[in-house]
């Protein structure tokens, strides 16, 4: 071990420590403030209590907004998965005229028409359709937005399913619907689960769409409600915000861990995996 | 509303255009008729909530449509005057400039370099270290954006914020005095996971034998990176930079931290569109600006797909 080597090692670990701290320190607040008897915006060893949880759960809209989030996100996730599954199977197995152009178009759409670029026309459209302040309307907009990418990710999964399974089922005289139900669906299950979770997590964290489209407080999902917690004086309600932030993050983290441990993290980037 | 960058837990960027030409063989006997039926619900929803709004932006953008007042009931066509107005609108120029700074600072420099540094150093770190660091970086990426906004508001707080405690600068209102620096830091923290994962898997394509021979001839770390690693991952650097730039330019989360303030000092284009449309009620003018953003997105996406295609 030369001195230069030791210096380089020390430098290496200093850099790693600095990067780790950069990512960890902002998160400390959500780990300490929810359990602190007098929660503030600072980070300190908490004066342990569960009083904040009691206050949050008895907040008139807190639990209600979680239910709203669940309603919106389950609707979105189920619709995205079902429609993307049908579409990706058709696109993977049948040479529909114009298929390649359609796929290229979907690929473009999935990155070009973002929420911020389309917020004005979507707001105007939903306003004129009378779908402002409707949780179903929010789920519809989110479904439309997530579908192109979902179709693409799922088509990758379906493309990877060997056609020989379907062929042999056909040789044994299974009907088309039987093949889809008993052969394709079970084999594609990891892909479907991934898309279900992906769509759920995406809509769970979506702030812009419900923020634009929902007016009344009793219909707001958690992502929007969290922005509006204030106490009687009008300043941020610090006994509710940290607890709610923590509770609101749990489903996302749990689902992520679940998919990760069950199916492994598949990287759907613009890269060959 | 595709891939809202404020909440992208799995990068919904479908790559592999090579697969576009994958073999199609209708082994289940679906038939073209039923296949079109399978496609219809998805295409209808995409058409109604993605394609139609995008096209309608063009029309609203040439009217004086407003949220309230006479023009809300009967808007009239004003031609290109919204666009000529944008040319002379100092606040729009300000928003463009801030977006450029935001993209340059947090995506092109911040996420890119930090993501690569993480991928490069974690490659040979102990598995426990590697797992911990990667979990933290991923956690920053998957937490809901409203929650993340509070984390950073607490971090930057004037009186008891963590940053002031660390630096010993109590009383500095970071979000008011240096709003753009705060946004760049925030978005670097938020989005680095994507670049880290992309570079991690890109680095696996660098032949270990070449790295080994570089070490044998005594090349420095920097020389190895420049002459051996970089040529292998050049394509990935380009496509990654394009993607994260596109997402960052369309990111709405600056609104959650600063609402564009103080006095427009952190009003990036997405926040400006929101403020003009829903605070100012000028739907026509904000549509014109949205259309410009759509065109910019389209150009970046076309370039991205071209690069991907050339690589495969």
Map out the domains of chain B as residue ranges.
88-311
CB within 8 Å: B24 and A100: no
pLDDT (tens digit per residue) in A161-189:
888 888 888 888 888 888 888 888 888 88
Mean predicted confidence (pLDDT) in A114-134: 91
Which of A69, A116, A191 should we substitute to test contact with B (largest number of B Cβ atoms within 10 Å)? A116
- Residue A34 Cα, gap to closest chain B Cα (Å): 12
Q: Which residue has the higher pLDDT, A163 or A81?
A: A81
Distance CA(B300)–CA(A175), nearest Å, equals 45
In chain A, domain spans: 61-228
pLDDT (tens digit per residue) in B268-279:
999 999 999 988
Q: Name the packing angle between helices B127-142 and B179-203 (round to 10°).
A: 130
Which tokens belong to B153? 């508001």
> Residues 6 or more apart from B231 whose CB is under 8 A from it?
none
CB B275 within 8 A of CB B103: no
Rg (alpha carbons) of chain B, rounded to whole number: 23
> Residues 6 or more apart from A85 whose CB is under 8 A from it?
A154, A188, A192, A195
CB A217 within 8 A of CB A210: no
Burial B89-106 (b: 16+ CB within 10 A, else e): beebeebbebbebbbebb
Instruction: Tell me the ipTM for this assembly.
Output: 0.88
pLDDT at A266 over 70: no
Distance CA(B141)–CA(B253), nearest Å, equals 13
CB within 8 Å: A198 and B243: no
State which of A165-169, A224-228, B306-310 shows the largest mean pLDDT. Answer: A224-228
CB within 8 Å: A149 and B13: yes
Structure confidence at residue A234 (pLDDT): 63
Structure confidence at residue B24 (pLDDT): 62
Q: Among A55-64, A210-219, B21-30, B130-139, where is mean pLDDT lowest? A: B21-30
Residue B53: which of A121, A151, A245 has the nearest Cβ? A121
Mean predicted confidence (pLDDT) in A227-241: 76
> What confidence category does residue B11 fall into, taking pLDDT thresholds of 50, 70 and 90?
very low
Residue B136: which of A12, A20, A30 has the nearest Cβ? A20
Residues of B within 8 A of A161 (CB-CB) are none
Distance CA(B198)–CA(A270), nearest Å, equals 8
Rg (alpha carbons) of chain A, rounded to whole number: 24
Structure confidence at residue B8 (pLDDT): 37
> What confidence category does residue B59 fall into, taking pLDDT thresholds of 50, 70 and 90?
very high
pLDDT at B7 over 60: no
In which region does residue A267 sit, left (phi positive, over 0), alpha (psi from -120 to 50) or beta (all else)? Answer: beta
CB within 8 Å: A121 and B305: no
Q: Does B106 touch chain A (CB under 8 A)?
A: no
> What confidence category does residue A199 fall into, taking pLDDT thresholds of 50, 70 and 90?
very high
Closest residue in A to B270 (Cα) is A116
CB within 8 Å: B139 and A253: yes
CB B26 within 8 A of CB A176: no
CB within 8 Å: B48 and A144: yes
Rounded to the nearest integer, the mean pLDDT of chain A is 86
pLDDT (tens digit per residue) in B239-251:
899 999 999 999 9
Please state the φ and ψ torsions of residue A231, each to the nearest 5 degrees: -90, -170
Chain position carrying tokens 């298929």? A99
Structure confidence at residue A233 (pLDDT): 63
- Residue B98 Cα, gap to closest chain A Cα (Å): 16
Closest residue in A to B170 (Cα) is A42
Mean predicted confidence (pLDDT) in B165-173: 86
A61-228: CATH number = 1.10.3720.10
pLDDT (tens digit per residue) in A22-37:
999 999 998 888 888 7
Question: Hey, how many other C-beta atoms are within 10 angstroms of the C-beta on A40?
Answer: 16
pLDDT at A45 over 60: yes
- Residue B248 Cα, gap to closest chain A Cα (Å): 11
Residues of B within 8 A of A96 (CB-CB) are 32, 35-36, 39
Q: Does B184 touch chain A (CB under 8 A)?
A: no
Q: Does B80 touch chain A (CB under 8 A)?
A: no
Please state the φ and ψ torsions of residue A174, each to the nearest 5 degrees: -75, 145
Residue B26: which of A94, A116, A267 has the nearest Cβ? A94
Which of B5, B22, B27, B292 should we substitute to test contact with A (largest number of A Cβ atoms within 10 Å)? B27
Report B:206-225 residues touching A (Cβ under 8 A).
none
Which of A104, A107, A270 should we substitute to test contact with B (largest number of B Cβ atoms within 10 Å)? A270
- Residue A169 Cα, gap to closest chain B Cα (Å): 9
Closest residue in B to A117 (Cα) is B290
- Residue A266 Cα, gap to closest chain B Cα (Å): 9
Q: Does B129 touch chain A (CB under 8 A)?
A: yes
Q: Among A3-12, B9-18, B165-174, where is mean pLDDT lowest? A: B9-18
CB A207 within 8 A of CB B252: yes
Residue of A225, A196, A253, A255 lying closest to A67 (CA atoms):
A225
Cβ-in-10-Å burial (0-12, 13-18, 19+) of A58 comes to exposed
> What confidence category does residue B151 fall into, taking pLDDT thresholds of 50, 70 and 90?
very high
B88-311: CATH number = 1.10.3720.10
Q: Which residue has the higher pLDDT, A137 or A175?
A: A137
Distance CA(B25)–CA(A205), nearest Å, equals 38
Question: Hey, how many other C-beta atoms are within 10 angstroms of the C-beta on A184?
Answer: 21
CB B111 within 8 A of CB B197: no
Structure confidence at residue B18 (pLDDT): 41
DSSP string, A53-101: HHHHHTSTTHHHHHHHHHHHHHHHHHHHHHHHHHHHHHHHHS--TTHHH
In the A/B pair of chains, how many CB contacts fall below 8 A?
400
Which tokens belong to A10? 């020390």
pLDDT at A272 over 80: no
Structure confidence at residue A268 (pLDDT): 45
Structure confidence at residue B162 (pLDDT): 87
Structure confidence at residue A4 (pLDDT): 82
Q: Does B142 touch chain A (CB under 8 A)?
A: yes
Structure confidence at residue B10 (pLDDT): 39
Structure confidence at residue B270 (pLDDT): 95
Distance CA(A89)–CA(A72), nearest Å, equals 26
Distances from the Cα of B273 to the Cαs of B55, B104, B268, B276, B282, in angstroms? 17, 20, 9, 5, 10
Distance CA(A270)–CA(B145), nearest Å, equals 23
Structure confidence at residue B1 (pLDDT): 38
- The verdict on whether omega for the bond into residue A157 sits within 30 degrees of 0, i.e. cis, is no
Closest residue in B to A81 (Cα) is B42
Q: Does B97 touch chain A (CB under 8 A)?
A: no
Chain position carrying tokens 């259309």? B291
Structure confidence at residue A264 (pLDDT): 62
Q: Which stretches within chain A are classed as H helix?
A: 3-32, 51-57, 62-93, 99-112, 115-128, 135-160, 163-171, 176-178, 185-187, 189-205, 208-213, 222-225, 241-263
Closest residue in A to B302 (Cα) is A108
pLDDT at B263 over 50: yes
pLDDT at A72 over 60: yes
CB A197 within 8 A of CB A261: no
Which of B7, B23, B221, B258 should we substitute to test contact with A (largest number of A Cβ atoms within 10 Å)? B7
Q: Identify the bridge partners of residue A36 per DSSP, sorted by sequence position.
A: A48
CB A252 within 8 A of CB A201: yes
pLDDT at B4 over 70: no
Which of A118, A125, A140, A177 should we substitute to test contact with B (largest number of B Cβ atoms within 10 Å)? A118
Q: Quick one: what percent of chain A has pLDDT higher than 70?
A: 94
CB A75 within 8 A of CB B7: no
> What confidence category does residue B12 fall into, taking pLDDT thresholds of 50, 70 and 90?
very low
Q: Among A78-82, B15-19, B23-27, B207-211, where is mean pLDDT lowest? A: B15-19
CB within 8 Å: B277 and A207: no
């Amino acid at each position: 071990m030369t001195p230069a080597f030791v210096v380089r090692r020390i430098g290496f670990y200093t850099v790693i420590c600095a990067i780790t701290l950069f990512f960890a320190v902002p998160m400390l607040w959500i780990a300490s403030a929810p359990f602190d008897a007098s929660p503030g915006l600072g980070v300190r060893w908490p004066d342990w209590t569960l009083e904040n949880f009691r206050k949050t759960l008895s907040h008139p809209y807190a639990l209600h907004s979680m239910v709203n989030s669940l309603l919106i996100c389950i609707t979105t996730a189920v619709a995205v998965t079902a429609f993307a599954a049908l579409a990706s199977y058709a696109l993977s197995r049948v040479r529909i005229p114009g298929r390649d152009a359609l796929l290229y178009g979907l690929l473009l759409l999935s990155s070009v028409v973002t929420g911020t670029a389309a917020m004005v026309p979507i707001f105007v459209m939903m306003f004129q359709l009378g779908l402002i302040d409707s949780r179903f309307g929010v789920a519809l907009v989110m479904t439309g937005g997530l579908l192109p990418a979902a179709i693409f990710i799922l088509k990758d999964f379906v493309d990877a399913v060997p056609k020989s399974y379907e062929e042999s089922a056909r040789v044994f005289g299974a009907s088309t619907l039987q093949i889809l139900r008993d052969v394709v669906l079970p084999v594609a299950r990891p892909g479907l689960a991934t898309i279900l979770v992906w769509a759920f997590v995406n809509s769970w964290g979506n702030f812009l769409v419900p923020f634009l489209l929902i007016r009344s407080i009793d219909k707001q999902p958690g992502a929007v409600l969290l922005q509006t917690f204030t106490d009687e004086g009008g300043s941020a309600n610090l006994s509710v915000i940290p607890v709610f932030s923590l509770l609101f993050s749990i489903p996302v983290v749990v689902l992520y861990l679940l998919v990760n441990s069950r199916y492994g993290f598949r990287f759907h980037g613009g890269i060959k995996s | 509303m595709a891939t809202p960058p404020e909440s992208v837990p799995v990068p919904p960027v479908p790559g592999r255009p090579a697969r576009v030409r994958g073999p199609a063989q209708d082994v289940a006997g679906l038939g073209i008729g039923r296949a079109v039926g399978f496609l219809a619900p998805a295409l209808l929803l995409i058409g109604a909530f993605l394609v139609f709004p995008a096209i309608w932006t063009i029309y609203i953008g040439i009217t004086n449509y407003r949220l309230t007042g006479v023009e809300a009931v009967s808007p009239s066509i004003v031609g290109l005057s919204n666009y000529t107005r944008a040319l002379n609108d100092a606040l729009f120029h300000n928003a463009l400039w801030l977006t450029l700074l935001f993209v340059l600072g947090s995506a092109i420099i911040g996420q890119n370099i930090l993501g690569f540094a993480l991928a490069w150093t974690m490659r040979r770190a102990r598995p426990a270290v590697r797992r911990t660091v990667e979990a933290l970086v991923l956690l920053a990426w998957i937490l809901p954006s409203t929650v993340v906004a509070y984390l950073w508001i607490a971090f930057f707080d004037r009186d008891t914020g963590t940053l002031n405690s660390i630096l010993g600068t109590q009383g500095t209102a970071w979000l008011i005095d240096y709003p753009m620096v705060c946004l760049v830091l925030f978005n670097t923290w938020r989005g680095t996971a994507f670049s880290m994962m992309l570079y991690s898997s890109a680095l696996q394509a660098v032949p270990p034998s070449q790295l080994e021979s570089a070490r044998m001839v005594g090349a420095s770390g920097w020389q190895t990176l420049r002459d051996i690693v970089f040529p292998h991952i050049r394509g990935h650097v380009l496509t990654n930079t394009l993607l994260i730039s596109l997402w960052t330019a369309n990111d709405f989360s600056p609104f959650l931290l600063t609402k564009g303030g103080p006095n427009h000092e952190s009003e990036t284009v997405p926040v400006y569109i929101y403020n003009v449309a829903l605070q100012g009620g000028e739907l026509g003018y904000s549509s014109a600006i949205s259309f410009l953003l759509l065109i910019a997105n389209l150009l970046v996406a076309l370039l991205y797909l071209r690069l991907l295609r050339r690589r495969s």
